[in-house]
Chains A and B, each alone.
Chain A
């Protein structure tokens, strides 16, 4: 049966997909900035007692040429900032395994440009509002007579404050959290925007409190110095008429800058996390299919969207499910399904590999400990003839087992002795070096951060969550919808891989930070590990529950089926 996909685009590349999303996000950010600016001016210039004059002022402000002349540089900078930020949201962040690399990555050109843009946005925003609304703080200088000008300290304070807030936002908020958070349910963008915008406004006012305090303290200590230097540079006079109202204005400006920058972030996350439909069939080279997107490591956002699309198609689109279950014409091969399952299993295997590698050291230690215990027990002569059956690690081939039929012979020669001495010396040396490294902090800076790769893995946990749930839903739907039985052949492989992945995740419980909740910290990794593990268990449960009556006919290894029996299936 040939099923043609409707609206099959001739070209569908990640560039098309991302370009559309980023374009919308940037346009919305820029427009919102203009609107906020206008709104601020309307509020500041407003006089509720004389509404008619208020209206004319609003009209004059909005339509005046000067306003737009002032606004254009601001908009240009916002646009540039959005363009550069977009790269951060879309491309995968560099994986830094050591602290040194992390520090180096902070001082990159990209970050430097963004930092300057952020601080520029902060200054510009304050300057725009101050100069457009007029009043006492219109400029940094005020002319008192023909020849001399006086420094308006308040304006200087507010402008430097704006610079500081821009920098603070970049370092504290932007740098620390570049993750796009996918919403729990995907409502319409406008609904999401409406439900987020008020809380964003509130949180911006709260977020702005501490940086304002820091800046006020800074200015209290160094303000005089700055003021003097500035006045000296531009040959200005200094007046001592400092108004403390300016602190309040500073807080308001800070909140506004925070709100604007947060809003840009919100637009990016709204547009980029919006679900997209990927094609399932590849008619030509220019089409990026769902199956290919799942393994597109370099663009994590496309990967996430593909997994999300898989989840949605498994739940809501019987027609698209049918495309996966059909056979190709001519040839009658389930190419669509095969490529999908291959992509998903590849994703899982890479996960298992990374997590296995990270937990390897831990395993070695624990096994060594167990083995040393066993050896201690074996040294007791009374039970020398008994093999220890309780040890899971001592297989008959194990070299550590003692062959009791050939009693231990002393074959140590002088050559061996010198070798032993050499190794002992080497051990001692390496121990001393490692202690030295620890003491001097070399290990701390250049050594590998423990669990860095696990954290990297868990930060992409949602890929596993969506793909496993989508896959289980597809497999369960196949019981009724898959008339050619294309899914059946992969069932053992899928179940085994899911079980493997789950077992690897269970191993993570040995890390103290991942095995329990730590009070007071966000512990994202702990939560994500639980979320991934829970979704894997539910997926396995769903598959096992649906195929309950046929489970004995699926060829599974002993280990996998015992895991299913003990952990997943319900015992009645």
Chain B
């Protein structure tokens, strides 16, 4: 099996700029600029999430300190508490009242609520939710809790990129417009994922702690701060925290998975209706990915089980990993293979997906095992650590490149994917940016000269890393690959 020794590490302090025809270019000093090598990303938005951009988190209590406390009648006080903090807090306040009957009634009500919650927990243990630590654990973003860039997503047809920062505001940058749209509302808290709706001009689904908000944006409108009335809010009781969302390639359905909910919901967004996908596996789900061809969908639970759904009949194939859970996964562009990595082994596996086409090749018969493709065991190259467990991975729309972020090391590994005769990963380049940590990645969807990987770094910089083929007809999958040695072993641990 191939391993990370195939990579060449850039010199310390050098940052990677681009890859042109298989050769990586670095900047040794600050004068070096990407425009010296290529103009493909010249008009791309230059983004840096600085502290000035980040809105301070407000709890809504700032105004309170300006006012003196006054004695108000008890009923009025209760009404105020009810409007500001809800029923539970009202009961707590009422229980401190001097009148015996009032306090006792409130205490009784509190006890009943407590008992009811306990009974609910007994019947449905998966509703225990530990707040944002769960999100941090399951998220595709590295150090989700503290990084200034939380997620990135490129528009499928134009040069628009949505960036979510730590203050949960989503900004949309474009190559033509200087005014960036800002999507922000009270309900949008702890954003975990973004997904543009296919076959539309500007509809963005934002997955957050309590549900999903689907914003409609006119990228060329002068209104840069659309109101929540332009959005559809999708919410289900106990469906939280929403950790992964995906659209089907026709843009009809949105699928949402929550880390503490067994059910996966398939939404019809406009009608605000949903169907449930429910199969026994784990106590929640961490990842959903629709295949680019639209006929399969991958879902990973927070246990050892993951499933591949057939989107015509909505029946699923059940797969298990030996230990841990699936941390990252992505489909190849043709939808025939699924690449994934788990939380327990530093390996990338490939899984050939059965297709229901009538005249398929005889590949199908040996289809019950996942094949380890690349060993990512942590190694040291020129004093720099690379590899380890995978945080997230992405494949570009042409299906030629795979980018991987690791959980504990700071280089982004870039692989070429060769599909003939069987799927192979070939080490391409390692992208580093001094000592910065990569937090999230996304490939541009409409990049014509090859592929463009966008990386969010821990210092708030968003880097566009173009991978350019000067002769597009002669890329890796169309040429004969002579130097690939087929040395993969099947591991019988998957069933």
Residue ranges of A at the interface with B (Cβ–Cβ < 8 Å):
181, 183-188, 191, 195, 312, 315-316, 469, 473, 516-517, 527-528, 530-531, 534-535, 537-538, 541-542, 545, 568, 570-572
Residue of B nearest to A183 (CB): B275
Give 13 A-B contacts (CB < 8 Å), ordered by A residue.
Answer: A184-B267, A184-B273, A184-B274, A187-B275, A187-B314, A315-B250, A315-B294, A473-B250, A527-B271, A537-B200, A545-B199, A570-B157, A570-B201
Are B199 and A542 closer than 8 Å at their CB atoms? yes
Residues 240 to 271 of chain B near chain A (Cβ within 8 Å): 250-253, 266-271
By a CB distance below 8 angstroms, the chain A residues around B158 are: 570-572
Are A184 and B268 closer than 8 Å at their CB atoms? yes
Residues 360 to 392 of chain B near chain A (Cβ within 8 Å): none
Q: Indicate if B64 sits at the interface (CB-CB under 8 A).
A: no
Contact of B253 among A184, A188, A191, A572 (CB under 8 A): A184
* B402 shortest CB reach to chain A, Å: 26
Residues 171 to 203 of chain B near chain A (Cβ within 8 Å): 176, 199-201
By a CB distance below 8 angstroms, the chain B residues around A183 are: 275
CA distance A278 to B329 in the complex (A): 38
CA distance A312 to B312 in the complex (A): 8
CA distance A542 to B200 in the complex (A): 9
Q: Indicate if B278 sits at the interface (CB-CB under 8 A).
A: yes
Contact of B278 among A195, A316, A534, A538 (CB under 8 A): A195
By a CB distance below 8 angstroms, the chain A residues around B200 are: 534, 537-538, 541
* B461 shortest CB reach to chain A, Å: 25
CA distance A572 to B220 in the complex (A): 10
* B123 shortest CB reach to chain A, Å: 11
* B276 shortest CB reach to chain A, Å: 5
* B330 shortest CB reach to chain A, Å: 23
Asked whether A184 and B275 contact (CB < 8 A) given A534-B270, A538-B199, A538-B200, the answer is yes
Asked whether A185 and B266 contact (CB < 8 A) given A538-B251, A541-B199, the answer is yes
Residue of A nearest to B294 (CB): A315
> What are the 6 closest A-B residue pairs judged by CB atoms, nearest first?
A531-B270, A184-B275, A538-B199, A187-B314, A530-B270, A570-B157
Are A572 and B229 closer than 8 Å at their CB atoms? no
CA distance A59 to B271 in the complex (A): 48
Residues 280 to 321 of chain B near chain A (Cβ within 8 Å): 294-295, 312-315
CA distance A494 to B467 in the complex (A): 40
Please give 4 more A-B residue pairs, beta carbons under 8 A apart, in addition to A185-B277, A538-B252.
Answer: A184-B267, A188-B313, A188-B315, A570-B158
Are B271 and A528 closer than 8 Å at their CB atoms? yes
By a CB distance below 8 angstroms, the chain B residues around A571 are: 158, 176, 219-220
Are A316 and B312 closer than 8 Å at their CB atoms? yes
Residue of A nearest to B228 (CB): A517
Are A527 and B266 closer than 8 Å at their CB atoms? no
* B263 shortest CB reach to chain A, Å: 8
What is the 8 Å Cβ interface bit string for chain B, positions 209-252, against chain A (1 contact, 0 not)?
00000000001100000000100000000000000000000111
Are A527 and B272 closer than 8 Å at their CB atoms? yes
CA distance A84 to B293 in the complex (A): 45
* A172 shortest CB reach to chain B, Å: 22
By a CB distance below 8 angstroms, the chain A residues around B110 are: none
Are B271 and A191 closer than 8 Å at their CB atoms? no
By a CB distance below 8 angstroms, the chain A residues around B294 are: 315
Residue of A nearest to B232 (CB): A530
Are A185 and B275 closer than 8 Å at their CB atoms? yes
* B216 shortest CB reach to chain A, Å: 9
Are A469 and B271 closer than 8 Å at their CB atoms? no
Residue of B nearest to A548 (CB): B157
Most B CB contacts (10 A, CB to CB) among A473, A528, A572 go to A572
Q: Indicate if B20 sits at the interface (CB-CB under 8 A).
A: no
* A525 shortest CB reach to chain B, Å: 11
Q: Indicate if B159 sits at the interface (CB-CB under 8 A).
A: yes
By a CB distance below 8 angstroms, the chain A residues around B253 are: 184-185
By a CB distance below 8 angstroms, the chain B residues around A527 are: 270-272
Most A CB contacts (10 A, CB to CB) among B219, B251, B294 go to B251
* B488 shortest CB reach to chain A, Å: 32
By a CB distance below 8 angstroms, the chain B residues around A542 are: 199, 250
CA distance A535 to B251 in the complex (A): 9
Are A538 and B250 closer than 8 Å at their CB atoms? yes
Are A541 and B201 closer than 8 Å at their CB atoms? yes
CA distance A564 to B273 in the complex (A): 29
CA distance A537 to B219 in the complex (A): 16
Most A CB contacts (10 A, CB to CB) among B266, B271, B295 go to B271
Contact of B268 among A517, A531, A572 (CB under 8 A): A531
* A519 shortest CB reach to chain B, Å: 10
CA distance A185 to B253 in the complex (A): 9
* B66 shortest CB reach to chain A, Å: 31
CA distance A188 to B278 in the complex (A): 12
By a CB distance below 8 angstroms, the chain A residues around B199 are: 538, 541-542, 545
Residue of A nearest to B313 (CB): A188
Asked whether A188 and B250 contact (CB < 8 A) given A541-B199, A541-B201, the answer is no
By a CB distance below 8 angstroms, the chain A residues around B315 are: 188
CA distance A571 to B219 in the complex (A): 9
* B459 shortest CB reach to chain A, Å: 30
* B227 shortest CB reach to chain A, Å: 11
CA distance A184 to B269 in the complex (A): 10
* A174 shortest CB reach to chain B, Å: 21
Are B314 and A185 closer than 8 Å at their CB atoms? yes
Are A191 and B314 closer than 8 Å at their CB atoms? yes
Asked whether A188 and B229 contact (CB < 8 A) given A195-B276, A530-B270, the answer is no
* A4 shortest CB reach to chain B, Å: 16
* A26 shortest CB reach to chain B, Å: 25
Contact of B271 among A186, A312, A531, A572 (CB under 8 A): A531
Most B CB contacts (10 A, CB to CB) among A188, A517, A527 go to A527
CA distance A483 to B68 in the complex (A): 80
CA distance A312 to B314 in the complex (A): 13
CA distance A181 to B271 in the complex (A): 11
CA distance A534 to B197 in the complex (A): 11
By a CB distance below 8 angstroms, the chain B residues around A535 are: 252
CA distance A541 to B312 in the complex (A): 23
By a CB distance below 8 angstroms, the chain B residues around A572 are: 158-159, 176
By a CB distance below 8 angstroms, the chain A residues around B267 are: 184
CA distance A538 to B252 in the complex (A): 9
By a CB distance below 8 angstroms, the chain B residues around A185 are: 253, 266, 275, 277, 314
CA distance A316 to B356 in the complex (A): 10
By a CB distance below 8 angstroms, the chain A residues around B270 are: 527-528, 530-531, 534
* A461 shortest CB reach to chain B, Å: 9
Most A CB contacts (10 A, CB to CB) among B220, B229, B250, B277 go to B250
Residue of A nearest to B198 (CB): A538
* B354 shortest CB reach to chain A, Å: 15
CA distance A456 to B422 in the complex (A): 55
CA distance A185 to B294 in the complex (A): 14
CA distance A181 to B274 in the complex (A): 11
CA distance A530 to B273 in the complex (A): 13
CA distance A535 to B295 in the complex (A): 20
Residue of B nearest to A192 (CB): B275
Asked whether A186 and B272 contact (CB < 8 A) given A542-B199, A542-B250, the answer is no
CA distance A188 to B316 in the complex (A): 12
* B196 shortest CB reach to chain A, Å: 11
Residue of A nearest to B157 (CB): A570
Asked whether A469 and B275 contact (CB < 8 A) given A185-B266, A571-B158, A571-B220, the answer is no
CA distance A113 to B158 in the complex (A): 60
CA distance A183 to B250 in the complex (A): 18
Most B CB contacts (10 A, CB to CB) among A181, A188, A191, A568 go to A191
By a CB distance below 8 angstroms, the chain A residues around B272 are: 527
* A220 shortest CB reach to chain B, Å: 25
* B45 shortest CB reach to chain A, Å: 13
CA distance A516 to B278 in the complex (A): 34
By a CB distance below 8 angstroms, the chain A residues around B157 are: 545, 570
CA distance A181 to B266 in the complex (A): 15
By a CB distance below 8 angstroms, the chain A residues around B273 are: 181, 184
* B256 shortest CB reach to chain A, Å: 12
